[in-house]
């Protein structure tokens, strides 16, 4: 049934602005005019979403007005892959980057998957090609290939298992049960962190690629000592994609989902989340009684998604916003993604 109008009245906007403020945007410092600007868009997006039977998964690095205003599911890469596949919506408007929307399309080939910012890539995904993976396999015959979910469909199609920051150590451990040598690509920093955690030697029993995340690669390990002096008792958490120099001096290392859980499970005078800024914004709204020391960087790819672009994708998606994956590559990429679900959830032998 078509909704009567898609133009909010001034009173609709005021009500929606109050809802957004209560959801947490007020606490994040949005002023009245910013709330009303966002409200005029979220009001329309939420109505169109119902009308078109669409669902909006949003990665935790998205803008707060997307996370708190229009998202139906929020999470890390693993959670979004699982939840998106389980949804019975006809359209998925993926608020995230290309590899996430492509994963959603592979898992739900019959759904329309839209990426509001079609140019939203990822430095890790762009660091490696399918030909590079084939060359690695040729150089290290018999070694299973685990690739980070931050990769293209063509790269996934060449690998044995996909991993995310939420399950990489577990899945890599499983692979080492049956193999002496494993290939991990493309994040060199995550590879080094995994080598340390699993007691493996890079170049010998762990072969890594040389990709990095432009956001996490740039945090400075030296500043940790300074912040510890400035904020006594602060607990410092860093994402798996940070450099080993940094991860060796923090209190916890993990993916975004695990970082949020760690904060939830611990009592500390303050917390510092060394990752993309979106996680800190979300943490401040989810844990209003906890103190967060700012330390973050923006991901230009994640922040390319705006409410305006979400609305345009829902109203009239362009060809560029519509994700298509050739079925033959999708079928090959699906296998290692399913393997990830099986190994992460202990449903299969290594």
What is the distance between the alpha carbons of residues 289 and 296, in angstroms, rounded to a whole number? 20
Residue 77 binds ligand 13P (CB under 6 A): yes
Q: Is there a contact between 285 and 64 (Cβ–Cβ < 8 Å)?
A: yes
Residue 301 binds ligand SF4 (CB under 6 A): yes
Residue 150 binds ligand 13P (CB under 6 A): yes
Minimum distance from residue 271 beta carbon to ligand SF4 (Å): 19
In sequence order, which ranges of 199-252 are alpha helices (DSSP H)? Answer: 222-230, 244-247
Among 41-49, 116-124, 193-201, 307-315, the segment contacting ligand SF4 (CB under 6 A): 116-124
String marking each residue 130-159 x if it binds ligand SF4 according to CB under 6 A: --------------------x---------
Any bridge partners for residue 297, and if so which?
Answer: 276
Q: Which CB atom, from 65 or from 241, has the smaller least distance to ligand 13P?
A: 241
What is the distance between the alpha carbons of residues 155 and 163, in angstroms, rounded to a whole number? 13
User: What residues from 37 to 96 belong to the interface with ligand SF4 (CB under 6 A)?
Assistant: none
Residue 247 binds ligand 13P (CB under 6 A): no
Strands (E) across the chain are located at: 54-55, 57-59, 73-75, 91-93, 112-114, 145-148, 161-163, 182-185, 206-208, 235-239, 252-254, 271-276, 296-297
What is the distance between the alpha carbons of residues 8 and 315, in angstroms, rounded to a whole number? 15
Q: Which does 164 bind (CB under 5 to 8 A by kind): ligand 13P, ligand SF4, none?
A: ligand 13P
String marking each residue 231-270 x if it binds ligand SF4 according to CB under 6 A: ----------x-----------------------------
What is the distance between the alpha carbons of residues 160 and 336, in angstroms, rounded to a whole number? 5
Please identify which residue in 302, 314, 329, 340 interacts with ligand SF4, judged by CB under 6 A. 302
Q: Which does 106 bind (CB under 5 to 8 A by kind): ligand SF4, ligand 13P, none?
A: none
Gyration radius of the chain over CA positions = 21
Q: Is there a contact between 80 and 100 (Cβ–Cβ < 8 Å)?
A: yes
Task: Encode 34-62: b = buried (16+ Cβ within 10 Å), e = exposed.
Answer: ebbbbbbbbbbbbbbbeeeebbbbbbbbb
Residue 208 binds ligand SF4 (CB under 6 A): no
* Long-range contacts at 327-334 (CB < 8 A, ≥ 24 apart): 327/109, 329/153, 329/154, 329/157, 330/105, 330/106, 330/109, 330/153, 332/156, 332/157, 332/158, 333/106, 333/153, 333/154, 333/156, 333/157, 334/106, 334/107
Q: Which CB atom, from 48 or from 296, has the smaller least distance to ligand SF4?
A: 296
Residue 122 binds ligand SF4 (CB under 6 A): yes
Please identify which residue in 13, 81, 117, 124 interacts with ligand SF4, judged by CB under 6 A. 124
Q: Which CB atom, from 42 or from 151, has the smaller least distance to ligand SF4?
A: 151
Q: Which CB atom, from 45 or from 260, has the smaller least distance to ligand 13P?
A: 260
Please identify which residue in 111, 256, 273, 339 interacts with ligand 13P, judged by CB under 6 A. 256
Q: Is there a contact between 175 and 161 (Cβ–Cβ < 8 Å)?
A: yes
What is the distance between the alpha carbons of residues 216 and 152, in angstroms, rounded to a whole number? 20
Q: Which CB atom, from 17 or from 128, has the smaller least distance to ligand 13P?
A: 128
The DSSP 8-state label assigned to residue 142 in this structure reads: T
Q: Which does 256 bind (CB under 5 to 8 A by kind): ligand 13P, ligand SF4, none?
A: ligand 13P
Minimum distance from residue 257 beta carbon to ligand 13P (Å): 6
Chain residues that interact with ligand 13P, rule: CB under 6 A: 60, 76-77, 122, 150, 164-165, 213, 241, 255-256
Chain residues that interact with ligand SF4, rule: CB under 6 A: 97, 122-124, 150, 213-215, 241, 276, 299, 301-302
């Amino acid at each position: 049934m078509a909704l009567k109008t898609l133009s909010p009245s001034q009173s609709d906007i005021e009500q929606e602005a109050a809802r957004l403020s209560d959801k947490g945007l007020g606490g994040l410092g949005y002023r009245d005019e910013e709330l009303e600007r966002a409200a005029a868009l979220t009001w329309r997006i939420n109505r169109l979403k119902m009308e078109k039977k669409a669902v909006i998964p949003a990665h935790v690095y998205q803008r707060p007005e997307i996370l708190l205003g229009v998202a139906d599911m929020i999470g890390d890469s693993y959670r979004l892959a699982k939840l998106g596949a389980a949804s019975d919506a006809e359209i998925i408007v993926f608020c995230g980057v290309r590899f996430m929307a492509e994963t959603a399309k592979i898992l739900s080939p019959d759904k329309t998957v839209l990426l509001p910012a079609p140019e939203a890539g990822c430095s890790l995904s762009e660091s490696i090609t399918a030909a590079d993976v084939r060359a690695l396999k040729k150089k290290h015959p018999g070694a299973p290939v685990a690739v980070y979910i931050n990769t293209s469909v063509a790269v996934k199609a060449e690998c044995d298992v996909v991993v995310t920051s939420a399950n990489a150590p577990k899945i890599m451990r499983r692979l080492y049960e049956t193999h002496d040598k494993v290939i991990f690509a493309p994040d060199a920093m995550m590879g080094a962190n995994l080598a340390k955690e699993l007691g493996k030697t890079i170049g010998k029993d762990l072969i890594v690629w040389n990709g990095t995340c432009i956001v996490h690669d740039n945090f400075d390990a030296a500043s940790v000592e300074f912040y510890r002096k400035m904020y006594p008792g602060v607990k410092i958490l860093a994402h798996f994609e940070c450099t080993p120099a940094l991860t060796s001096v923090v209190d916890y290392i993990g993916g975004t989902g695990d970082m949020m859980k760690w904060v939830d499970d611990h009592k500390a005078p303050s917390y510092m989340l060394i990752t993309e800024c979106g996680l800190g914004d979300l943490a401040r709204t989810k844990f209003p009684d906890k103190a967060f020391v700012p330390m973050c960087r923006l991901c230009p790819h994640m922040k390319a998604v705006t409410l305006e672009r979400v609305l345009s994708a829902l109203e009239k998606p362009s060809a560029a916003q519509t994700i298509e994956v050739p079925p033959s590559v999708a079928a090959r990429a699906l296998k290692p993604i399913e393997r990830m679900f099986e190994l992460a959830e202990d449903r299969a032998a290594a």
